[in-house]
Chains A and B, each alone.
Chain A
């Protein structure tokens, strides 16, 4: 089962532009995480935001969390061709022992 749904499913932008991806989930959570996957291989953890946090930054990444709307967004600023990848949100549901992933957003950054 999947907890989160990402929007859009695919995004194509030019190098230097900002990329915004959204994630919606269904139940209460302990934390929400964002991961990147290059070319169908292993995922890399990007950032974790706890349920009592509203915004978090890490380098060119900015994540927001709105628990009232059960949604999160990932902003990548000044994108680079190397940012081309699939991005997934993952949630840890309150009381549930699992890290559940969304369907992902495929980001293409054109040089």
Chain B
């Protein structure tokens, strides 16, 4: 069974540009989570999608947005990039069991560098 896949692995952008990151969840998983991890730090919750809808978002500005497609894959868009957006962006998927969030399966991440 294929795991969570993220693309691209690395992305270099210039300040002010837009970045698009992609995530394909494990087959059968309807929930997709996005996290930002700055170098050496913990994971900051960005967004949670389930069944095609945004269910929750973390404390990030509106220039961080995304969507989930009918096949449950997801896209994270970051507009007007700033230097401090440089980080590892992690996507995870999970099945929803009886409305509960259970274990999440992570992709290997996209390393975004803003120069």
Tell me whether B100 and A92 are in contact (CB under 8 A): yes
CA–CA, A96 and B48, complex, Å: 11
**Given A1-B58, A41-B109, A98-B58, are A104 and B42 also a contact pair (CB < 8 Å)?**
yes
Nearest-CB distance from B2 to chain A (Å)?
14
CA–CA, A42 and B88, complex, Å: 10
- Partner of B56 from the list A45, A97, A102 (CB cut-off 8 Å) is A97
Q: Does A82 contact B (CB under 8 A)?
A: no
**Given A40-B88, A43-B92, are A99 and B42 also a contact pair (CB < 8 Å)?**
no
Q: Does B84 contact A (CB under 8 A)?
A: no
User: Size of chain B's interface in residues, with CB distance under 8 A?
Assistant: 29
CA–CA, A42 and B39, complex, Å: 14
Q: Does B43 contact A (CB under 8 A)?
A: yes
Q: Does A101 contact B (CB under 8 A)?
A: yes
Q: Is the interface of A mostly helix, strand, loop or mixed?
A: strand
Minimal Cβ-Cβ distance residue in B for A43: B106
Nearest-CB distance from B101 to chain A (Å)?
5
Q: Does B90 contact A (CB under 8 A)?
A: yes
Q: Does B7 contact A (CB under 8 A)?
A: no
- Partner of B106 from the list A30, A42, A92 (CB cut-off 8 Å) is A42
CA–CA, A98 and B35, complex, Å: 11
Q: Does B64 contact A (CB under 8 A)?
A: no
Residues on A lying within 8 angstroms of B by beta carbon are 1-2, 30-31, 33, 35, 40-45, 48, 88, 90, 92, 96-104
